[in-house]
Amino acid sequence: AKTVDKDRYQRMVGKLIYLSHTHPDMAYAVGVVSQFMHQPQVAHMVAVFRIIRYLKGTPNLGVLFRPNSHLNIQIYTDADWTGDKGTRRSTSGYFSLVGGNHVTWRSKKQKVVALSSGEAEFRGIAKGVAEALWIRKLLSEVGYPSKEVTRIMCDSKAAIQIS
């Protein structure tokens, strides 16, 4: 496999990482291409250009805050199971809404190998709950305590039952 200019690849991916702070829709893809910073190959550079084409084709997407009368917190979580075929590790992610507005998100490879899809999803829920607690504390510290129950959304019955 042919390698590409490492410095150029690293600069381009660095810029995409910066942009992903306002584009949660591309966070996963940027996370994938950032795994190849040491020895980028042509296929990886093609993926970087695909992300750039996606950004050019979706100029209206991004984070937009709308005023709302409530500060309800919602967390949506998801995970794959053994998505990385080399290490068998799963990737989990979450995003949070406060008052219906996107405020935080994350997609990250799990540190351990999950033995089931339910376990992988449960680990994703745990990260989402930690984020929800942090948001609740932050809102309280700045004088806006959340009075409503925080909703954690997950698509795995097994993970919900474990919780």
CATH number of the domain at 116, please: 3.30.420.10
pLDDT exceeds 90 at position 64? no
Q: How confident is the model at residue 24 (pLDDT cuts 50, 70, 90)?
A: confident
Same domain assignment for residues 123 and 149: yes
What is the edge-to-edge ordering of all strands in the sheet holding 91-98? 101-109, 91-98, 73-79, 151-153
Same domain assignment for residues 53 and 77: no
Same domain assignment for residues 30 and 98: no
Q: What percent of the chain has pLDDT over 70?
A: 100
Q: Is residue 62 included in any domain, yes or no? A: no
Same domain assignment for residues 89 and 28: no
- Cα separation, 96 vs 159, whole angstroms: 19
Structure tokens belonging to residue 129: 């709950």
Residue 76 has a pLDDT of 98
- Cα separation, 154 vs 82, whole angstroms: 18
Residue 34 has a pLDDT of 96
- Give me the numbers of helices (H) and strands (E) for the chain, helices first please: 5, 4
Residue 80 has a pLDDT of 96
Residue 70 has a pLDDT of 86
The alpha helices in the chain, defined as continuous H runs, are: 6-19, 27-33, 42-57, 117-141, 157-162
Q: What percent of the chain has pLDDT over 90?
A: 81
Structure tokens belonging to residue 10: 């690293």
What residue numbers bound the domain in which 124 lies? 73-162
Three-state secondary-structure class, residue 72: coil
The mean per-residue pLDDT over the stretch 55-61 comes to 91
pLDDT tens string 93-134: 999 999 999 999 998 999 999 999 999 999 999 999 999 999
> What is the helix, strand, coil percentage profile of the chain, to 5?
45, 20, 35
pLDDT exceeds 90 at position 63? no
In sequence order, which residues have a C-beta less than 8 Å from that of residue 152 and are 6 or more positions away?
74, 75, 77, 125, 128, 129, 132, 163
- Looking at every residue in the chain, the average pLDDT score rounds to 94
Task: Annotate 129-138 with b (16+ C-beta within 10 A) or e (fewer).
Answer: bebbeebbee
pLDDT exceeds 90 at position 21? no
- Cα separation, 53 vs 125, whole angstroms: 32
